[in-house]
Structure formats: structure tokens, C-alpha cells
Chain A
Amino acid sequence: MEATIATETNGQTWSGGNNKPLGASYGKMMMWFFILSDALTFSAFLAAYGLTRFKFIESWPIADEVFTHFPFLHGVHAPMYYVAFMTFILIFSSVTMVLAVDAGRQMKQKKVTFYMLLTIIGGLIFLGSQAWEWKNFIGGSYGAVQLNDGKIIQFVDASGHQIELEKFAIASHSERTQHTKDKGLWFVKEAALPPFSVNEVIEGFKANPDITIRTEKINAETKTKTIIPREEAMAYLNEAKVVVKGANLKVNEYGKTLFADFFFFITGFHGFHVFTGVLINIIIFFNVIIGTYQKRGHYEMVEKVGLYWHFVDLVWVFVFTFFYLV
């Protein structure tokens, strides 16, 4: 097995002698240190997500109802497929990375170059996919109403499926216009106004006898959100404070605010890792092209950046499980 460990580093990487602690070169050892500490950081985030989810176990958003988009399939309910695609992209770029490492050990510069390039492309596709996922999450799909106490009320049709606000809300001439710097106080900003006012949504609700609402509360028996009979719905809607479309850090149409906060923070932090991974890969890629490692006599640098890249993949495996599956 010795043969597959990093190639010799001239015995000069560790100061104070030729011994290599645990048989690892300085660089690899430090990469493992970093990976372990970064793993603890990620696990802290995911554990905090777990705590919050257990805290709101009976009203947490259901992932299948949140992440339902797939490119070129508008309005089709396609949960999981897109994130499965993202997972495959990342696993595949991990494979090309490990193939690059393998080629590096055999000193095949051309092959390392090719596989590094594939890895970088895979990373970029993943980043683009994640941007698209965020875009859909931020843009929202159905829209909802937030009550005075912060709860989210969603609208469903007779079959119990969620229905878009546009389908029933009655647009009326509204006095309210978006505040911009040139229209009022120059130092006052305003977030984008929701597409409808609360009154327009309620008027639309009254005018459509076959729609009703559902609350965030999950029915423990069926693991679905509780649908409120239409007769009782107005009692909820009278409490309505604001119309919500999409998600931001303060409010989101899917339910608990913390759900979106954790989603942005954890996938964002992971995406940042992918981004830096791509940058480092690009640097190493150019070093491979100009023959730095060929001259040095070993491709250990590719192995080290490979460790980081696989770690990013490893984290995604857990993020995938805890955000989309469980």
C-alpha cells in the first residue's frame, strides 16, 4: 500500500529531520487538519439546522413541496430530480478529480490536464445549478400570506394542491407605488412590493368558492400540511398581514423563516467552498499545463487539492440528505 501514498518530498517539508509523522507529507497532513476542522464547522451548521427542525418538528416545511423546479419544465411538479442532477455533477467531478490524481501518480501530464479540466467544468456546472436553485427559491412558486403572528398560510385548490396567487387574486387599482429614492426620501429604501395586496388576495379568495387554505402544521398521521375547511378559512385570513412571494432572510412563502435562513447559509457556505475549490483547481490546472509538477517530479499538489475537492463533495452528500431527503 506504501506505493500509493504521496511521492517523496525530498525530506525537506518537515523541518527538524527526515521523519514524516504518520507517513504523511507536511502538505497532506495540513490538508487533513483543515478538512477535519472544516467538517466540524459544517457539522455544527447542520446540527443547528437539526435542532431548529426538531424545535419546529410539527410545522417545518416539506422539502418536496419547496424544491420542485426542473429546467425547461415549467409548472411541472418535479421534486428531487434537479438536486439529484446536481449531486451527480458533483460526484462525477469527484471521479474526474481522482482520475487526475491517479494519472498524476503515473506522471502522465496530458491526462492530468484533461481530467483537471473536466473537474473544473463540473464545478462550474454545479455552481451554475446552485445559482438556478437559489433563483427559484428566492423567486418562489405559489405565493402565500403571512399572518400577524408570523405564520404562513398557503392556498390550495379543491384537490388539495397548492395554487398560485395569480390564479385567483383580483388585481385592483392600487394607490400604493414602489418607493424609490427619486420619489421620496433619498435615504429611505424599500424592499420590492409583493405582487398583490392582502385585500386583493382576500377578494380573490372570496370570489373563488373552490379554493381553501392550509396551515404550516403537519398532520402527524399523513405527514402532510393541514388543510383548513373553507368555512373556517376567513378567521385565518382576517389575521393576514402581508402577501409573501418567494423567500428572503426575513420571510418566505414556504413556512418558517429559519428554514430559508439555514438554506441560504448552509448551501451558500457550501457553494462558497465549491467556488474556492474551482479557483484552486484552476490555479493547479495552469501549473499542470506549464509543467511545474512534471519538473518537480511529483503531482502531490494535485492530490492535495483533490482532497479538498472530495471533501466538498462529501459535505454535499450530507447537505443533500438533510435538506432534501430526510
Chain B
Amino acid sequence: MAHAQEHTSHTKLIWKVFGILSVVTIVEVILGIEKPDSLHLSRVFGTSPLNIIFLVLTLVKAYYITWFFMHMADEKKNLRRAVVWTGVFLISYLATLLLIEGNYIGDVLGPLTKWNY
């Protein structure tokens, strides 16, 4: 079992990542419950600052899960790029187009919807 001794334990790193993920989730939940008006009701880049914060925190969590839990950090650079860039590119492409389209349909449909009786 000489082979096994090459592998040092990463327990410390794992618990650290768990701590980061927990803190981020707790921040998200607190913001989601409180919804401070200054963040919730103002507008930045076509949505509220709160939504942008949620999105960024989600990506932070995704990064930590992929890099440290899925051990992406230990893979060869080319494998990492093949997976991450493909995903990031295709998903942001799809999301951008569909959200623009949805926004357009909403703009057209909105005024046609009757709310008074």
C-alpha cells in the first residue's frame, strides 16, 4: 500500500469549502427573507440589484462545488476548459436569447392583457 501514502487528506479544505457554501447560502436566505427595499425595488441592468446579488452568489457556489467538490481544480487544464467553457458558453447563449425573447413577448402581451372588469 505504498501507493496510498501519496494521497494526503484534504479534509481541512473540504470543511473550509463547506463553510464558504454555508455562509453564502445563509446570506442568500437572509436577503431573500428581508428583501431590503433599497436592493429589491431599485433597478440595475434591467433587474433589481438583489437579483444580481443572488445570481453572483449562485455562481460563486457553483464555482466552489465544481472546483473543490468535483475536483475540477485537479483535472488537466484542457479537460477543465472543455467542460467549463462549453457549458458557460452554451448556457449563457441559450439564456440570453430566451430571456430577450421572453421580454419581447411580455412587452407585446402586457398591454393586451385585461386587468379591469
A158 within 8 A of B: no
| CA gap between A3 and B110 in the complex, in Å | 58
Is the Cβ of A4 less than 8 Å from the Cβ of B74? Answer: yes
CB pair B69 A54 closer than 8 Å: no
Complex CA–CA separation, A269 to B111 (angstroms): 34
* B contact residues around A36 at 8 Å (CB): 83, 86-87
Interface size on A, residues (CB 8 A): 76
Contact across chains for A239 and B117 when beta carbons are under 8 A apart: yes
Chain B interface size band reads: 35 or more
**B38 interface residue, CB < 8 Å from A?**
no
Known: A51-B98, A318-B58, A326-B55. A215 touches B115 (CB 8 A): yes
Question: In whole angstroms, how far apart are the Cα atoms of A313 and B65 in the complex?
Answer: 8
Nearest-neighbor residue (CB-CB) of A53 within chain B: B102
Contacts of A56 in B (CB 8 A): 106, 109
Q: Are B10 and A4 in contact (CB under 8 A)?
A: yes
Given known A50-B99, A55-B105, contact A102–B32 (CB-CB < 8 A): no
State which of A10-18, A84-92, A186-194 sits at the interface with chain B.
A84-92
Interface SS of chain B: helix
Smallest CB gap from A298: residue in B: B3
Of the listed stretches A37-45, A120-128, A196-204, chain B binds A37-45
Kindly list chain A residues whose C-beta atoms are within 8 Å of the C-beta of B115: 215, 217, 226
Most buried by A among B14, B31, B101: B14
Q: Known contacts A50-B98, A102-B10: does B113 contact A43 (CB below 8 Å)?
A: no
Bound Cα distance from A128 to B5, whole angstroms: 40
Cβ contact within 8 Å between B54 and A321: yes
A180 to B87, CA, bound (A): 51
A310 within 8 Å of B (CB atoms): yes
Q: Counting CB contacts under 8 A, is A76 at the interface?
A: no
Q: Is the interface of A mostly helix, strand, loop or mixed?
A: helix
Most chain B CB atoms below 10 A, which of A92, A94, A306: A94
Instruction: Give the interface of A toward B (CB within 8 A).
Output: 1, 3-5, 7, 22-24, 29, 32, 35-36, 39-40, 43-44, 46-48, 50-59, 64, 79-81, 84, 87-88, 91-92, 94-95, 97-99, 101-102, 105-107, 147, 149, 215, 217, 221-223, 226, 232, 235-236, 238-239, 297, 303, 306-307, 310-311, 313-314, 317-318, 320-321, 324-326
Sampled A-B contacts (19; CB under 8 Å): A5-B71, A39-B87, A43-B94, A43-B95, A52-B102, A54-B102, A54-B105, A55-B105, A55-B109, A79-B32, A84-B29, A98-B14, A98-B69, A99-B14, A107-B1, A223-B41, A238-B117, A311-B70, A325-B28
B residues at A contact (CB < 8 Å): 1, 3-4, 6-11, 14-15, 17-18, 21-22, 25-26, 28-29, 31-33, 35, 40-41, 51, 54-55, 58, 61-62, 65-66, 68-71, 73-76, 78-79, 82-83, 86-87, 90-91, 94-95, 98-99, 101-103, 105-106, 109-110, 113-115, 117
